[in-house]
Chains A and B, each alone.
Chain A
Amino acid sequence: MNERHEQEKKQFMKLLGQEEVDELDKRFQILESFLKSENHETCQEISTRLDHEGVSLGPGFVAETMELLCRFGFAHKLKFDDGPPRYEHRHLGLHHDHMVCTKCGIIIEFRDETLERQQVDLAAAYGFHMLQHKMEIYGICSDCLKKRSMRVPLSRTKQGEFLVIKGFEGGKKAQMRLTSMGLRIGDTIEVVSTQAGGQLVIALGDHRFVIGQGLAQKVRVEHVCHHPQADFPKRPCLRKLRATGETVPLSRMKEGQEGVIARVAGETRLRRRILEMGINRGATVYVEKYAPLKDPIELIVKGYHVSMRVEEAAHITVEGVRTVTKR
């Protein structure tokens, strides 16, 4: 593996040197750092690691360089769900696909020759010449599946799941309402969508129902496995990558913790106010303290102190949270 990395570095110097790319040294440092890790990394993560190594290059510069690496075929850009783009090594001639666990975020790399061949065949059957393909399977990994209790309230299920109703809780009234809607124990339902506020749209046969959060909590369901795992021989995966990009709302961070802002949500006015104060995506935020009455919260962003209410901080999502003793 290392030999290949050395080769990649040499090629990088040669190619980019020819193209007269500016600040080659700094970009080379990014490549080196990137090659060190086998993870799927975001620009922010690369930049943070570089920081720890004593090289201070902003995430913006890293992003630009990573785009360059993609262009010259040293890296491959991936986008899972709606997270920030992640990059992986692109070693020529090697291809793999991904499975992403929606619960824990683990990324499993796999390669299946049958699938690869079938895709070429399928494309050919349509008179289509396949150049490239991208395959991402979203679901729940075996570990998460094991951890999952068999019987859960309907309110805790996710969009797209197939479930069997196992029982109703709560008083007679709730039961009556559910049965009058035509939901019976033993029915198989599909979760069509979950909305903010906990409302669910479910499908039973060709009927749709809307169920509020309160009612959904009272319905006990079990997951239906499309393909019971036991039927298939277990296959080794190429690699398992622990996703580091776990996000928490800023309001849940503790004093002395630091993280990188992933998203600023909320009503436009508040959002703009937060953004214009320099609290934007990619900025590092440090929780200095909470006020004596636990609200508001004092932060350090871009080297200055700013305070906001906890309810406002809840609109800001932070990733890569870690505790630092003192900044």
Chain B
Amino acid sequence: MKRLTIALAGNPNCGKTTIFNNLTGARQKVGNWPGVTVEKKEGTIKRNGYELNVVDLPGTYSLTPFSIEEIAARDFILNEKPDVVVNIIDAANLERSLYLAMQIMELDRPVIFVLNMADLAKSKGITIDAEKLSALLSLPVIFTVGNRGQGTDLLVETAIKEALAEKKGKEARRVTYNREIEALIREIEASIDETGLNLESWPRRWAAIKLLEDDQVVEENLAAMEEGRVDEVLAVAERSRSRMEEFFNDEPEIVLTDERYGFIAGIVREAVTVSAEKRADISRNIDLVLTNRFLGFPIFIFFIWAMFQLTFSLGVYPMAWIDTGVTLFSSVLDTLLPQGMFKSLLLDGIVAGIGSVVIFLPNILILFFCIALFEDTGYMARTAFLMDRIMHTVGLHGKSFIPMLMGFGCSVPAIMATRALENRKDRILTILITPFMSCSARLPVYIVLAGSFFAERAGTVIFGLYATGIVIAILSGRLFRSTLLKGEDAPFVMELPPYRVPMFKSLMIHMWERSKMFLKKMGGVILVGSIIIWVLSTFPRDPAVSARYADDISRVTLEYTRSMAGADPVLKKELALEVETRVSALEKERDKELVANSFIGRFGRVLEPVFAPVGIDWRAGVALVTGLVAKEVVVSTMGVLYGVGDDEADALNHALRNSGMTPLSALSIMVFVLLYIPCIATVSAIWKEASAQWAVFNLLYTTSVAWSLSFLVYQGGKLLGFG
């Protein structure tokens, strides 16, 4: 079977994703573009005896070298040479869409134009003469209505036909510029020929235009491909640029942009008629309410609240089911498997670890459903519009708000939600500061500690912690923006697309793709992480310790069995209770000793000098280290180490108060928990969304901030006499 590659290109919000979904259905492969974290979607379909590989290029307005999406799209067309590029155009926005179309045409691949949302354009009174457009640009033009699935078959057929026609040879389509510019382009082309510069797969004319535009990426690539030989061409280009600048009194790339628009204006005038009749613009009427000066914010806050509620309240039920399921599964395994190392690994390591990730799945599904809803209806752009003024003061983009807010729930989905941000720097910045938003898993730690030491002022203390997190996030944001992620934040220039009724299928695909990725990618890291943590907390295993306690327990049991044998029923009951208490005390003692002797326990003790200046004893230290798995674990480890069961909150309160911990050191621990290394799931999320380096950086940064602030709190408090 013959294989053909079809690339889908188009502006954001032009309905490209809908068409892609119509074409490929659920048979999609989501990955990243090589070297960059821009989502790449592919799907394979069989049609008319051809196997068609459909690639969804990132939605962009242009193909400049200024954003990774645009470079990814451009490089794919240039290097992979798809058999045909399907340019999807919002019919209601022809003039603007043609700007990208012109640049795609310059890449010299077979192109077909798909005028999507033809119904919307018609209702706006726009009539497009497809035949004329087709004749003017010498390429096929078809109409589709993506959300009703109209024209999908025609699209495939036209694409195949065009891809085959190209192979028979077809004259080059071109965008013509002003006479002077054409002369300069020819000059650069001639110099490319003269020097015998090897452009590999690049069209010569395109390369010449890019050199005239002073495209850094093209220049660097040329220099890398052809050392030395390229200088002559670059000199010619430089000269042409300065001639152009002199002639047009403006930067060459701006002149070329103007020229393209001039060309486009000509095409639009020929092929489009707009009837003067104006109809009610529903989208504008919705915006009268949703971005209203007075109502805008209350409505926005309501939507966010609703999303939060849905994600974290509705999510509780399926989470409980999953929890029960995992518990059931592990108890079944418990009874089925023989006692031993493997069982412990399987139960306490793998099942527990994976279970702790799978439990996030409902959250993630609901969250991504909400986000997909926001994006597909067009409300996402409005939230950025509303929030940008506030976020901009921190050096962030308006779209950073939602991920940061989600951080109060759980950092993992919050970090994944940063995908809504187009600019990589903005994304990394948001990812780095989101863990400072105190996630819900940290709350149990605060409740126990603040409850034990601050009694009725606990609420105030916890609120203070949340506020501290926000302040640290803001300060860190400003710090990163002026150092590591320097540079102006991306221009805010953003389309506010018309409101649309979202398609259920599209929402489902969107939600499922993201969640699948979460499970697949996080799963791997978490699995490894859980095993490592399990190994650290289980080994080195001194069988003598377990054996000693086992002996003790059996001795105690035996003792009581003996005395119980001759006792009357009332005493028997009392004795039974007594034996239970003694055995559980022994078990606690055993667990404590085991954890204390394990690698993780030793690690905690090694860290004792590090924790001492911030007022954290070795037990709390070990608990903090185990918090790496998940923040809730801090409480249960504390339970073990302070010698109470993890289900006895009151006892833990009591034990903590008697352990010599002061309110000040409790506060220090809470500050540390607020700020230090996010859990392993978050670290792996950062790893996947940013890079390993950023994950490590975040790890070090958060921990040093946590230590410094705890140090300030503890030592400062001591100086002020609160110790």
Contacts and interface: CB of A to CB of B under 8 A. Distances in A.
Nearest to A60: B265
A58 B269 contact: yes
Contact of B494 (A269, A272, A295, A308): A308
Contacts of A309: 388, 392, 491-492
Given A272-B64, A302-B96, A291 B386 contact: yes
B496 A305 contact: yes
Contacts of B297: 292
A296 B389 contact: yes
B210 to A, nearest CB: 13
B254 A278 contact: no
B493 A273 contact: yes
A272 B297 CA distance: 32
Interface in A267-294: 267-281, 288-289, 291-294
Contact of B99 (A59, A276, A303): A276
Contact of B389 (A277, A294, A312): A294
B265 A295 contact: no
A72 interface: no
Interface string B240-257: 000000000101011001
Interface string A54-70: 00111111000000000
A304 interface: yes
B587 to A, nearest CB: 59
Interface string B290-303: 01111011000000
Contacts of A277: 61, 96, 493, 495
A281 B492 contact: no
B385 interface: yes
A60 B491 CA distance: 29
B93 A307 contact: no
Nearest to A296: B388
B296 A292 contact: yes
A60 B492 contact: no
A155 B108 CA distance: 55
A267 to B, nearest CB: 8
B95 interface: yes
A302 B61 CA distance: 14
Given A60-B265, A302-B93, A308-B491, A276 B257 contact: yes
Given A58-B265, A276-B64, A308 B493 contact: yes
Contact of B496 (A271, A273, A298): A298
A239 B96 CA distance: 42
A308 B124 CA distance: 25
A304 B96 contact: yes
Interface string B83-107: 0000000001101100110000000
Q: How large is the interface on A (under 10, 10 to 19, 20 to 34, 35 or more residues)?
A: 35 or more
Most A Cβ at <10 Å: residue of B93, B257, B287, B492? B492
A306 B496 contact: yes
A294 to B, nearest CB: 7
Most B Cβ at <10 Å: residue of A264, A291, A303, A312? A291
A272 B495 contact: no
A279 B96 CA distance: 9
B636 interface: no
B389 A293 contact: yes
Contacts of B5: none
Nearest to A299: B496
A278 B11 CA distance: 12
Interface in B336-393: 381, 385-386, 388-390, 392
B266 interface: yes
Nearest to B70: A276
Contacts of B249: 82
Contacts of B191: none
B258 interface: yes
A271 B262 CA distance: 17
B67 to A, nearest CB: 9
Contacts of B496: 298, 305-307
Nearest to A269: B66
B177 interface: no
B391 to A, nearest CB: 11
Most A Cβ at <10 Å: residue of B283, B294, B494? B494
A273 B269 contact: no
A61 B100 CA distance: 23
A308 B492 contact: yes
B257 to A, nearest CB: 5
Contacts of B493: 270, 273-274, 277, 279, 306-308, 312
A149 B311 CA distance: 66
Contacts of B251: 268
Nearest to A305: B496
Interface string A243-285: 0000000000000000000001001111111111111110000
Contacts of B268: 58
A57 B274 CA distance: 12
Given A268-B251, A273-B493, A312-B492, 8 more contacts: A273-B66, A281-B258, A289-B287, A292-B296, A302-B95, A303-B95, A304-B96, A308-B492
7 A-B pairs with the lowest CB-CB distances in the bound complex, closest first: A276-B62, A278-B96, A293-B389, A305-B496, A60-B265, A295-B389, A308-B493
12 contacts: A264-B254, A272-B66, A277-B61, A289-B287, A291-B389, A292-B291, A295-B389, A296-B389, A303-B92, A304-B92, A307-B385, A308-B491
